Structure 1
Amino acid sequence: MKRIGRWLHPALFVAVLLALPLGWLLYGLQRGDLARLLWHGSALVVAVLLLGEIIQRLYRREVGVDLIALLAIIAAVLLDQALVAAVVALMLVGGRSLEAYTEQRAERELHRLIDRAPRHAWRYRGEELEQVPVDQVNPGDRLLLRLGEVVPVDGVLLDQDATLDESALTGEPLPVRRHPGEPLRSGGVNAGAPFQLRASQTAARSTYAGIVRMVEAARSSRAPFVRLADRYALALIPLTLLLAGGAWLVSGDPLRALAVLVVATPCPLILAVPVAIVAGISRCAHRGILIKDGATLEALARGQLLFLDKTGTLTAGRVSVQAIESAGNLPDAQLLQLAGSLAQASPHLVSLAIVAAAQQQGLKLETPDAVEEQAGAGLSGLVEGRRVKLGGHDYVAAGLPASTWAEGVLRRMAYEFAGGCFVSVDGQLAGALLFADRLRLESPRALRQLRQAGIQRIVMLTGDRAEAAQMIGLAAGVDEVRAGLTPEQKVAAIHEGRPQGVTLMAGDGINDAPALAAADVGIALGAGGASASSEAAGVVLLVDRLDRIAEALLIARRSRAIALQGVLAGMGLSLLAMLLAAAGYLPALAGAIVQEGIDIAVIFNALRALGSGHGRQPPAGLEGKRLDDLRREHEELGPLLEQVRSLAEEITGLPTAQAKNALAGLVRLLEQELMPHEQADEQQLYPLLAERLQGDDPLGAMSHTHREIFRLVHLLARMAADFQEDNAAISPDAIRQLLVRLDTVLSLHFAQEEELYHNLDSR
């Protein structure tokens, strides 16, 4: 009957429902014969349609559990239990109508993604606009997106800023702003002024097409748990017939057998499990997590061992300037200004990172002249009349005398950073810029959430050097780091982990495709993987955030638990009702009503998988502008923190007068800039954040850090005053130790706050 058409179920339900009161009316008019005929007729109509469905399944070599319901209707008609036959038919058709409704609710997010797929696009032909089917859009075409239209293909924003509503893709309610030159994913909705887009993919190869393919696969899939439930349900057929026959044989009353048949319909198995699984997939889609099918959801729910790629997964995947090392000839700011000016001439990612760092510090960059670039080595040119070279040590230091300073920087790069560039000015080594692929702000918290969600072991797999990988692994909190691996070795590592439990592999979805395919569940991080890795990964995160893996894991486990609850509770109650009916304590009419009550309870319990559950609600986000202000304040304080670190390293080697001036200036900046910022955080921001976090005092530890900062700054001010008076008890070494402590506390505190702000970002 499920395949007859969803429109037929409500119509049949209304017809059979009307037959009941009409029959009672006929009984009141002393026309019981017509009443029985009406009830028998409505039941037989349902039985005929049900028989057609059963025959279709038998033709496909499937045995349907609806056979029990058909036997119950036929037995009621043969035993002249007209009212029972009508009620059983009503319950059956009502259950199917309810099934159609619940499936529609469970799939609502999947329908939402499919139904909003763009069908047409506005394309420029010269300067004229034409509306074309989205399948006719080719890479390079210039498109116009008007207010409310869906981005039809992946492309690059051309002429102006664009405001996009990506809530259907990512689950984030606030619009995002994109700038000219940024890549745009298909599927977002233009929430602002019209803008132009240069197509970079065809519709079939765009992000949204990959999303729709995965959604369609999820809707049509049958999870192992669902197939197992079908087998259990089929096992009820012989059990029901045996129990019904035994009750008839022992009691001699055929109505006992009818009562057993009436309460034996295994709806809790055939309805509750698929509804819960599909609801879980739909809930994930609402949060920007695409799950390929029910089997993937079940495997995800049983995940125990998680493998993670490093670059682009645990880290941001983008090089950034981590530190500036001056050889002593130039101040840090001037060194960065010269390097940034020269770097403007190169499109290399490292050059872009240097330019971005200089711009963040508000440095004025000059246009370089006579630029020469040696691929893979570096570049040189004139900046404000000075000869500047920027690149690797061998390139920059070629022809220069050996430098113990440079050797120390190289050792530091090997220990802590992903790499660096040396800078020479007018033929002398002037300094170095140290780079790092920064750890994602959400990575440590995401790994903690994954452990809370049941992951027993987390292993990082990377092809990078062991030293850099160990630093990232320690900062993130993984259990094991395996570095220097080829793609084949990553696959082998995953196979080695299989005996420990169900394996999950998270990567960027492109270069980790073999490892994603090797794991029991592959998880592609970021929207770029939606089309590129849909074959390799079973889960695609449309939001480029690692913490969504923990959320997906929790949703999967909750959905599977709800399905199991429905099976155990529903079938337990059905078996109890069968025993009561066989013993004569539950008549057929009452049994039909009881069975329908069980079905309704189990189905609506399965719909709980659409919710987020209790006790693990994500914290409410902060408004975007407020977060941007907080991040800007941290960026503005960045040079002050660097000044604390630099003075800690240099104070013992400075002349006394210079050390006094530097220390006095630093204390003045700490009191005028840092202290007001931290006090405002303590008095205004932290109470606001506490309302969005769980626990009695969620920010107690960070508030304690504030108090430690206040204490250290106050102590430093007193020591500086004594140092100005040539107090013999205050030595530069004692001040250096205090500065090191302050630098350590500030670095840790700022990192914690940035992670907190990132995790509370509602966008």
Structure 2
Amino acid sequence: MESTTEDRMKVLLLCVAVAGLIGGLALQFLLGRADLARLCWSAATLPVLAALVVEITRSLARGEVGLDVVAALSMSAALLFDEALAATIVAIMYTGGTFLEAFAEGRARREMRGLLSRAPRTATRHRDGGLQELPVEEVTPGDRLLIRQGDVVPVDGRLETGSAYLNMAALTGESLPVSLEPGAEVLSGSTNAGDAFDMLATEAAKDSTYAGIVRLVEQAQRSKAPMSRLADRFSIGFLAVTVLIAFAAWWATGDPIRAVAVLVVATPCPLILAVPVALVAGLSRAAQFGVLIKGAKPLESMARIHTLVLDKTGTLTDGRPQITRIHAEPGFSEAELLELAASVDQLSKHPMAQALVAAAEARGLALHLPAQTEEVPGEGVAGMLAGRTVFVGGHGFVTARTGDAGSAIAATEAGSVLVAVGVEKQFAGSILMADPVRADVGEMLAGLRRDGVKRLVLATGDRAAVAERIAGGLGLDAIHAELSPDRKVHVVLEERKLGPVMMVGDGVNDAPALAVAEVGVAMGARGAAASAEAADVVLLVDRIDRLRTGFVIARRARAIALQSVVVGIGLSVLAMLAAGFGYLRPVQGALLQEAIDVATILNALRSLRIAVPAAEGAATRPAT
């Protein structure tokens, strides 16, 4: 309500100033009453000046000296020296500038508002042989939901029937829909672009991906850009320079109107407006690619990163074990071996067991529910399939129960895990699994080097041999292995001595390190809620290459903000000098400054069109 009232007051003051300008012009040129025209212009300026004085007083009470002081000073001087028309134009310039700022920020946030507005309110659940429409808050894990064509998926879940064709642009920025097979993870917030399908809810609405995104967006919208505060800190210096030029022109010529002209043309709207507009536009642009930055402060910090510290599991690697090799003993095929192992592992919660089940489903194998299952934690599981006892687990677990060592393949690579399979008294074969490096990691790290990141560091809790294998060929500057969460924090603090640090992770153990880094980045698609909460940036899509996308957008948005400020203030200073030498009258100076403001805002809005690296699908030349 407060925001709406302030917006209405801005519009009202703008209307009063415009009405006063038009009324005064009519009185002077149509009726020839210059005295009434000046009175009309003064009456239109005073409410704006009063509102501005109130805002300045509030800022001073908070210990802030803002750039609005120059605007108030120019209006006051113009009224004092009978330049009422110039005062009114400054009033229009100031109220129009604040209105333009609100409009520009509103445009820059439209993608974020789109995320909020398209959040699903209801879900369709299968219940007692029929369909039930219910509020999305009442969906619980285990509910079977119907997703019709065009529906937005209400909660995270798993695809149950047939294939699905999903548009995930709102989450990931991908322009083309994605095809999913049965058993695949379905993220809330994606839109069904194909036929209707059933999914099994795995999360409640409040814990789902889309709900987390909405919370992060709302947090991001409440932020204030640090460069805006930096501009306020320089306001005293700018004010001093302005007053110095104004009084120098007055003292040298004895003409107070020159001082008024200098003050009028010095109103620093470029510094007031350009920074927040450019940075908020950058936030909006990053959100289009699934990079949710929690406000203008982390975006500005992200642009100055010196060192990147990366976790391994779920960051450099996929975080989900994958089959690298299957060795079947005589009498068994590879498909049969995987089918037996996955069928028995269906009832196990072990990550390796779930990875085997997912791999079998992805290959279209028919899994059967085992009977009389027995699991030995950390060793393996046994179950009955078609009258035969099947053992799945470590090599020792299987050989101890079958009495057959077989010809198991060796897990030669550090970090690989061997899953043995036995049937009755026979060793059936082995499956080698590992957590592979993401395919896009090498190119992403090389790109960050080219973009200005000086150091690349791996910090993992895994064994040194595994860390060395993962880091091979990636060109990292340092590798830290076997780290506890507090030692990860120590690594980040040590790297901060060299320059600003960005830490990337996805697990609960990464949350402390994310919190102490200048910029913490969480892999939010499948990462822990704790890491997403502690992070400043959340990658909504499970793609590490989007890290470079966010970095490039942050750097270019900050560059555009600085460019807008430097050019805008530079033009203002030139105009001040021109006014001091008598080349600009107060009215001319006010009109010139208005043109500078508009050009500066339009330049800041270029952040909405920042092009990302070609690998990310950009087709336009980067805005710099």
Quote the Cα distance in structure 1 between the aligned partners of 2:403 and 2:84. 106
Deviation at 1:184, TM superposition (A): 3.8
1:498 alignment partner in structure 2: 496
Deviation at 1:53, TM superposition (A): 3.1
2:209 alignment partner in structure 1: 207
1:330 alignment partner in structure 2: 330
1:593 alignment partner in structure 2: 591
Deviation at 1:17, TM superposition (A): 3.9
Quote the Cα distance in structure 2 between the aligned partners of 1:567 and 1:421. 61
2:571 alignment partner in structure 1: 573
Deviation at 1:10, TM superposition (A): 4.7
Distance 1:353 1:475, change over 3 A: farther
Deviation at 1:351, TM superposition (A): 4.2
SS of aligned partner of 2:501: strand
Deviation at 1:212, TM superposition (A): 2.4
Deviation at 1:590, TM superposition (A): 1.6
Distance 1:157 1:367, change over 3 A: closer
**Cα offsets for 1:255-302 (capped at 9, x unmatched):** 011011101112122111111221111111111111112221122111
Q: Any gaps of 5 or more consecutive residues in structure 1?
A: 622-691, 695-763
**Cα offsets for 1:113-146 (capped at 9, x unmatched):** 2333344556678678776655555556666655
Verify: 1:558 aligned to 2:559, yes or no.
no
Deviation at 1:345, TM superposition (A): 1.7
1:273 alignment partner in structure 2: 275
Q: What is the identity, as a one-letter code, of the residue corresponding to 1:296?
A: P
Quote the Cα distance in structure 2 between the aligned partners of 1:151 and 1:337. 35
Contact 2:17 2:44 in 1 (8 A): yes
Quote the Cα distance in structure 2 between the aligned partners of 1:346 and 1:210. 31
1:415 to 413, 416, 422: 413
Q: What is the identity, as a one-letter code, of the residue corresponding to 1:5?
A: E
1:467 alignment partner in structure 2: 465
Contact 2:225 2:295 in 1 (8 A): yes
1:758 alignment partner in structure 2: none
2:6 alignment partner in structure 1: 5
Distance 1:211 1:74, change over 3 A: same
Q: What is the identity, as a one-letter code, of the residue corresponding to 1:590?
A: Q
Contact 2:523 2:532 in 1 (8 A): no
Matches within 5 A, 1:137-152: 147-152=149-154
1:610 alignment partner in structure 2: 608
Q: What is the identity, as a one-letter code, of the residue corresponding to 2:211?
A: A
SS of aligned partner of 2:461: coil
Deviation at 1:388, TM superposition (A): 5.7
Contact 1:514 1:536 in 2 (8 A): yes
Q: What is the identity, as a one-letter code, of the residue corresponding to 1:498?
A: R
Q: What is the identity, as a one-letter code, of the residue corresponding to 2:598?
A: I
Contact 2:341 2:421 in 1 (8 A): no
Contact 1:233 1:266 in 2 (8 A): no
2:518 alignment partner in structure 1: 520
Matches within 5 A, 1:145-294: 147-156=149-158, 162-178=164-180, 182-192=184-194, 200-294=202-296
Distance 1:178 1:498, change over 3 A: same
Deviation at 1:558, TM superposition (A): 0.9
Verify: 1:42 aligned to 2:41, yes or no.
no
Quote the Cα distance in structure 1 between the aligned partners of 2:593 and 2:6. 24
Distance 1:138 1:256, change over 3 A: same
2:478 alignment partner in structure 1: 480
Q: What is the identity, as a one-letter code, of the residue corresponding to 1:446?
A: M
Quote the Cα distance in structure 2 between the aligned partners of 1:546 and 1:416. 23
Contact 1:19 1:39 in 2 (8 A): yes
Contact 2:220 2:293 in 1 (8 A): yes
Quote the Cα distance in structure 2 between the aligned partners of 1:17 and 1:458. 56
SS of aligned partner of 1:435: strand
Quote the Cα distance in structure 1 between the aligned partners of 2:200 and 2:371. 33
Contact 2:307 2:501 in 1 (8 A): yes
Deviation at 1:545, TM superposition (A): 0.1
Distance 1:693 1:254, change over 3 A: closer
SS of aligned partner of 1:6: helix
Quote the Cα distance in structure 1 between the aligned partners of 2:144 and 2:367. 34
Quote the Cα distance in structure 1 between the aligned partners of 2:390 and 2:123. 49
Deviation at 1:357, TM superposition (A): 5.5
SS of aligned partner of 1:455: coil
Q: What is the identity, as a one-letter code, of the residue corresponding to 1:247?
A: A
Distance 1:387 1:43, change over 3 A: closer
1:583 alignment partner in structure 2: 581
**Cα offsets for 1:294-314 (capped at 9, x unmatched):** 221122111121121222111
SS of aligned partner of 1:280: helix
Contact 2:420 2:431 in 1 (8 A): yes
Contact 2:290 2:539 in 1 (8 A): yes
Quote the Cα distance in structure 2 between the aligned partners of 1:201 and 1:390. 29
Contact 2:165 2:178 in 1 (8 A): yes
**Cα offsets for 1:475-516 (capped at 9, x unmatched):** 544333332222222222222222222111111243422222
SS of aligned partner of 1:306: strand
Distance 1:350 1:251, change over 3 A: same
Contact 2:111 2:288 in 1 (8 A): yes
Contact 2:403 2:426 in 1 (8 A): no
Give TM-score scaled by structure 1 length.
0.72
Quote the Cα distance in structure 2 between the aligned partners of 1:180 and 1:390. 24
Distance 1:604 1:198, change over 3 A: same
Contact 1:373 1:380 in 2 (8 A): yes
Q: What is the identity, as a one-letter code, of the residue corresponding to 2:609?
A: G
Deviation at 1:445, TM superposition (A): 1.6
**Cα offsets for 1:382-423 (capped at 9, x unmatched):** 7788876443222233389998965xx44xx24355111234
> Please, which moves more after superposition, 20-29 or 571-580?
20-29
Quote the Cα distance in structure 2 between the aligned partners of 1:399 and 1:94. 82
Deviation at 1:598, TM superposition (A): 1.9
Matches within 5 A, 1:607-756: 607-613=605-611, 616-618=613-615, 620=617
1:81 alignment partner in structure 2: 83
Task: Report the number of matched residues.
Answer: 616
Sequence identity percentage = 47
Contact 1:153 1:203 in 2 (8 A): yes
Quote the Cα distance in structure 2 between the aligned partners of 1:571 and 1:178. 53
2:112 alignment partner in structure 1: 110
More contact order relative to length (CA 8 Å, sep ≥ 6): 2
State the Cα RMSD in Å: 3.7
1:655 alignment partner in structure 2: none
SS of aligned partner of 2:344: coil
SS of aligned partner of 2:320: strand
Contact 1:338 1:388 in 2 (8 A): no
Deviation at 1:89, TM superposition (A): 2.2
**Cα offsets for 1:362-383 (capped at 9, x unmatched):** 8787887876654432345677
Contact 2:167 2:192 in 1 (8 A): yes
> Please, which moves more after superposition, 233-242 or 350-359?
350-359
Quote the Cα distance in structure 1 between the aligned partners of 2:209 and 2:371. 42
Structure ranking higher in helix proportion: 1
**Cα offsets for 1:596-619 (capped at 9, x unmatched):** 2222222222111121248x4446
Larger radius of gyration: 1
Q: What is the identity, as a one-letter code, of the residue corresponding to 2:330?
A: L
1:624 alignment partner in structure 2: none
Q: Any gaps of 5 or more consecutive residues in structure 2?
A: none
Distance 1:503 1:196, change over 3 A: same
Contact 2:74 2:267 in 1 (8 A): no
Quote the Cα distance in structure 1 between the aligned partners of 2:492 and 2:374. 46
Q: What is the identity, as a one-letter code, of the residue corresponding to 2:80?
A: L
SS of aligned partner of 2:413: helix
Distance 1:580 1:203, change over 3 A: same
